[in-house]
Amino acid sequence: MSHTAHIPSHRKPRRSASKLALRAGVAGGVLGTIAVAGAAGPANAEPVTETIEMPTLNADLSADLSSAVAASAEATQQVALDQELQAQEDAAATKAAKEAKTAKAEAERKAEAEEAQRKAEAKAKAEAAERASRSSERTTLSASGGDSDEDGGGSSYDSGQATGSAAAIVAFARAQVGDAYVMGSTGPNSWDCSGLVQAAYRQAGVDLPRVSGDQSSRGTSVSLDDLQPGDILYWGSRSNSYHVAIYVGGGNFVGAQNPGTGVVERSLDYDMPSGAVRVL
């Protein structure tokens, strides 16, 4: 038998190994060298060798994979940048809306304050004009001692015989018409009923108690048919009255009525009193 007779049987596994290596994807252009010696033959027989070049994986595939990875990373980074930009835009829009709302509220508050101030100034001017008119009327009243046309039932005031003290009380009371009613207030721009009466009598040098029940208990009780200017009118019982005012002649009285009307001059028919007392 020839010394090369066993070579085919050795080559067949080598080819199978080459195929297995190829199927496993051996890459990088590695050169495989397989040396096979004959299993039989003379000792001096030369070994048979075979060199097989293994296939190299496509380099373009590796480049494409790298490009795909780089593109994916770039896309991810761009998405993150877009989200951050959107968040900044949303925050800026929210801040702008909040500032606009605050500015609008401030503008409305300022406008309301200016309107309130304008109304207050107009009211102050009107009150000043009214007070000036009442002051002029008071001066005329004091100088003339009353007008006989304002007949209030034959009283001394109505017939022009009012004393200086009664005239001072009436003039002061009328000068406060238009002032506000505030419970517990004693002037100079707001009053309650007994606070006004007390202040008016102080103009005549008479010191009255502070509350209506005590004021109506002073002096002498008089009939409503025989009133004189300066008399104190009361509502309720004399010892426990709940409201007082000042009779000013002509069938009228001046009193700090309530928060809705303030200090007013009204006819007795507007709210008929329960009785009256004369302190002067």
Q: What pLDDT, on the 0 to 100 scale, is given for residue 53? A: 59
Whole-angstrom distance, CA of residue 276 vs CA of residue 238: 8
Q: Which residues pair with 245 in a beta bridge?
A: 233
pLDDT for the residue 65: 81
Residue 39: DSSP 8-state = S
pTM above 0.95, yes or no: no
CA angle in degrees (0–180, nearest 5) for 249-162-207: 85
Q: What is the pLDDT of residue 69?
A: 85
Give dist(CA 240, CA 215) in Å, integer. 10
Whose structure tokens read 């003339």?
A: 144
Q: Which residue has the higher pLDDT, 83 or 18?
A: 83
Given a cut of 70, is residue 239 above it in pLDDT? Answer: yes
Spacing of C-alpha 184 from chain mean position: 32
Cα separation of 215 and 235, whole Å?
12
Confidence class for position 211, pLDDT limits 50, 70, 90: very high
CA–CA separation, 32 and 26 (whole Å): 10
Instruction: Read off the pLDDT of residues 20-70 as tens digits, 9 standing for 90 and up.
Output: 444 545 444 444 444 444 444 455 555 555 555 555 556 667 777 888 888
**pLDDT tens digits, residue range 91-103?**
999 999 989 988 8
pLDDT for residue 196: 98
- Residue 260 clears pLDDT 90, i.e. is over it: yes
Residue pLDDT, tens place only, 115-158 = 877 776 666 666 555 555 554 544 444 444 434 333 333 333 34
Beta strand 240-249 with 252-258 is: antiparallel
Task: Name the more confident of 77 and 49.
Answer: 77
**Virtual CA dihedral for 10, 16, 17, 23, nearest 10 degrees?**
170
Q: Indicate the DSSP class of residue 185.
A: -
Q: Rg of the chain over CA atoms, in angstroms?
A: 58
Tokens found for residue 128:
């000043």
Q: Is the separation of the CB atoms in 152 and 237 below 8 Å?
A: no
Distance of alpha carbon 4 from alpha carbon 131, whole angstroms: 146
The rounded percent of the chain whose pLDDT value lies above 90 is 45
Cβ–Cβ under 8 Å, residues 221 and 161:
no
pLDDT tens-place string over residues 218-236: 999 999 999 999 999 999 9
Q: Is the backbone peptide bond immediately before 188 cis, with ω within 30 degrees of 0?
A: yes
